[in-house]
Chain A
Amino acid sequence: MSLIEIQGLNKIYDETTVSVHALKRIDLIINKGEFTAIVGPSGSGKTTLLNMIGGLDKPTSGKVLINEKEISTFKPDELIDFRLKNIGFVFQAFNLIPVLTAKENIEFIMLLQKVSKEEREKRAFELLNAVGLSDKINNRPSELSGGQQQRVAVARALASKPSFVLADEPTANLDSETAESLLDLMEKLNHEYQMTFVFSTHDAKVIKRARRVVTLEDGKIKSDIYQNEKSRINS
């Protein structure tokens, strides 16, 4: 069953002197439970594509359907509401709220969803436990390492019980060991909860962990490969 469906997507950034055709007639279907990497060199359109899927930016033409709803026609506040209910975000620079503790950062998104205090606290504890940070609940982001912050960010992304998680280069600011550990966590969540992950990367070590690899080049899909367990290990 398709969770994300992209049809004939174009994105042109109109600058005053020069216009940039960032995405060119992209067609892509991502199914529920997939663990997909969007890869490609810098400027290939990875982030733009993720922004379109996440409803953070509007396509110039074409359609983005999430759960069969065309989000490119939504009004800004409808999009915000849609993101809150359906999409979990993990950013390259973690982007936690610096004045809140790890637990409060996770609770915050549930607060926006008007989840009860009891439920918020329960779920925040569970998620911190799941990402292995149950001893850091009252630590602020500045008191956590990069890897720990990104784990909190993953927990925050899952707190809203989204349909899928979008992660823009989630390991870019992490050392390789921490990056491996984060990918382990994402894979575990993908296996155990059937959580769909779509993440961008240009790190070869990360790419080999993905079960599906969509490669972009100059705003076009160059290849779309499903890697089996064997090819992933051998690659």
Chain B
Amino acid sequence: MILQIAWKNIWRNKKRSLIIITATALGLWGGVFSNAVMIGMWESTIDAAINRELSHIQVHHPKFKDEKLLKDYIPNSDLIFSLIKNENDVKSVSRRVIIEGMILSPTSTSGVEIVGINPIIEKNVTEIHNRILEGSYFKDRRNNSILIGERLAKRLKVKLNSKVVLSFQGLEESLVSAAFRIVGIFKTESTVFDETNVFVLQDDILQLIGNSSVFHEIAIRARSIEKIDTVKSYLSIKFSNLSVESWRELAPEFGLTQDMLYLELNIFIGIILFALLFGITNTIMMSVFERARELGVLLAIGMKRIRLFIMIVIESILLSFTGGAIGTLLAFLTIQIFSFYGLNFSAFTEGFSMYGVPAIFYPELPLHMYIFLGIMITFTAIAAAFYPALKAIKLNPAAAIRTY
């Protein structure tokens, strides 16, 4: 019955309650949806990086990442590659040759990372084949074909079918150079990636190196996101002489920013709720003052102070939850709509691509954020009711009853 009374009490002054409910609903609608946009944007950025280059897990020679030297390749990569491929939780694997080198056009030069891939196998791990703007993804398999990024092509002033020269230091520390024909120009979400990476056929580059077993990177896709850590720890134990890293370790800035983002978004919601707290406190406070006589009567006829306190807290919780539920529901529906159609920021592609952010992304809010929001609203409601409830239980029943 206390719940029933509390619910009826908040509707005594409909206008006042509706104002605070509307304020709560609008505040949370805006706050929650903008959080979902930020999370969606960031998750899309991470997904893009995973699909573009990172994959879920990478295996390297332990020294490779220090200077990316050609000689620091994975020993027995054939055996390791086939062992990893046969793991249950592994969906797909690709081997890459990675060389730091130079690309030269008739007009310009640039430092690049030359990535030697098997196009068919690589398709299962990254999505560079879906980012071809002009030409094809090694369609004809002609010798010395190369894929370069749109940004790099502009910088080198080259086009499709133009010739470029790749130059790098070989295993014997001699300079290796070869001409390649541009068969495809790609464009990803990241201009930095497009400017610094070129893709060539694995066989071509291995031939230039003069050693068919020089593989620097094994990129792995787990069957699901949840399996990444399991696969990573398993491989770390199995190949203890190699460096096995998940995408979070490969691109620590992503993981760190993701953690920071969630913290910031929670603080953002906290600030909204903190502002609402004063409004809710004011509403409950006025309601307590207006009902001083009635609260005095309740104390007089035998309602324990703790019950009175709880009743006022419940009123605050119901008031906050009504606004919170409406706001969260509106945010949920908005998120669902935009997570289906996506938010298109094509007009800002240039700016976004500097940071590897896709122009279209899909707002999302994980379940734990909804749960956290529920907890935050409850705390806000209790905090808002605390002072008015304290005032109520301190009423002198004899004096309060004579209040008119």
Which of A80, A91, A104 counts the most chain B CB atoms within 10 A?
Answer: A80
A57 CB contacts on chain B under 8 angstroms: 396, 398
A232 to chain B, nearest CB (A): 30
B401 CB contacts on chain A under 8 angstroms: 56, 91, 95
**Partner among A77, A98, A111 whose Cβ is within 8 Å of the Cβ of B1:** A111
Interface size classification for chain B: 20 to 34
Q: Is the CB of B398 within 8 A of A83?
A: no
Q: Is the CB of A80 within 8 A of B305?
A: yes
Task: State in angstroms the CA–CA spacing of A24 and B330 once bound together.
Answer: 65
Asked if A107 meets B294 with Cβ closer than 8 Å, knowing A89-B301, A112-B302, the reply is no
Q: Mark each residue of chain B from 175 to 217: 1 if its CB lies under 8 Å from any CB of chain A, else 0.
A: 0000000000000000000000000000000000000000000
Q: Is the CB of A112 within 8 A of B300?
A: no
- Tell me which residues from 1 to 50 in chain A have a Cβ below 8 Å from any Cβ of chain B: 47
Task: State in angstroms the CA–CA spacing of A54 and B404 once bound together.
Answer: 21
Asked if A95 meets B297 with Cβ closer than 8 Å, knowing A51-B398, A57-B398, A111-B1, the reply is yes
B347 to chain A, nearest CB (A): 54
A223 to chain B, nearest CB (A): 26
Of B4-12, B48-56, B98-106, B119-127, the one touching chain A = B4-12
A132 within 8 A of B: no
**Partner among A47, A83, A95, A98 whose Cβ is within 8 Å of the Cβ of B302:** A83
Q: Is the CB of B299 within 8 A of A80?
A: yes
Task: State in angstroms the CA–CA spacing of A98 and B293 once bound together.
Answer: 12
A54 CB contacts on chain B under 8 angstroms: 300
Task: State in angstroms the CA–CA spacing of A156 and B297 once bound together.
Answer: 12
A233 within 8 A of B: no
Task: State in angstroms the CA–CA spacing of A99 and B10 once bound together.
Answer: 10
A91 to chain B, nearest CB (A): 6
Task: State in angstroms the CA–CA spacing of A107 and B401 once bound together.
Answer: 21
Q: Is the CB of B294 within 8 A of A81?
A: no
Q: How many A residues, CB 8 Å from partner?
A: 29
In the complex, the chain B residue whose C-beta lies closest to that of A84 is: B302
**Partner among B305, B307, B397 whose Cβ is within 8 Å of the Cβ of A56:** B397
- Tell me which residues from 213 to 258 in chain B have a Cβ below 8 Å from any Cβ of chain A: none
In the complex, the chain B residue whose C-beta lies closest to that of A56 is: B398
Asked if A97 meets B5 with Cβ closer than 8 Å, knowing A56-B300, A56-B398, A91-B297, the reply is yes
Q: Is the CB of B301 within 8 A of A98?
A: no
**Partner among A91, A93, A98, A112 whose Cβ is within 8 Å of the Cβ of B307:** A112
B305 CB contacts on chain A under 8 angstroms: 76-77, 80
Q: Mark each residue of chain B from 276 to 301: 1 if its CB lies under 8 Å from any CB of chain A, else 0.
A: 00000000000000000110011111
Q: Is the CB of B303 within 8 A of A112?
A: yes
B304 within 8 A of A: yes
Task: State in angstroms the CA–CA spacing of A86 and B28 once bound together.
Answer: 48
Q: Is the CB of B1 within 8 A of A108?
A: yes
B315 to chain A, nearest CB (A): 11
A97 CB contacts on chain B under 8 angstroms: 5, 294, 297-298
**Partner among B293, B294, B302 whose Cβ is within 8 Å of the Cβ of A80:** B302
Q: Mark each residue of chain A from 156 to 186: 1 if its CB lies under 8 Å from any CB of chain B, else 0.
A: 1000100000000000000000000000000
Q: Is the CB of B5 within 8 A of A81?
A: no
A80 CB contacts on chain B under 8 angstroms: 299, 302-305
In the complex, the chain A residue whose C-beta lies closest to that of B8 is: A99
A208 within 8 A of B: no
A and B contact pairs by CB, cutoff 8 A, 9 listed: A81-B304, A83-B300, A84-B302, A89-B301, A97-B297, A97-B298, A109-B302, A112-B303, A113-B302
What is B's interface to A at a CB cutoff of 8 Å?
1, 5, 8-9, 12, 293-294, 297-305, 307, 396-398, 401-402, 404
What is A's interface to B at a CB cutoff of 8 Å?
47, 51, 54, 56-57, 76-77, 80-81, 83-85, 89, 91, 93, 95, 97-100, 104, 107-109, 111-113, 156, 160
The 3 closest A-B pairs by CB, nearest first: A84-B302, A99-B8, A56-B398
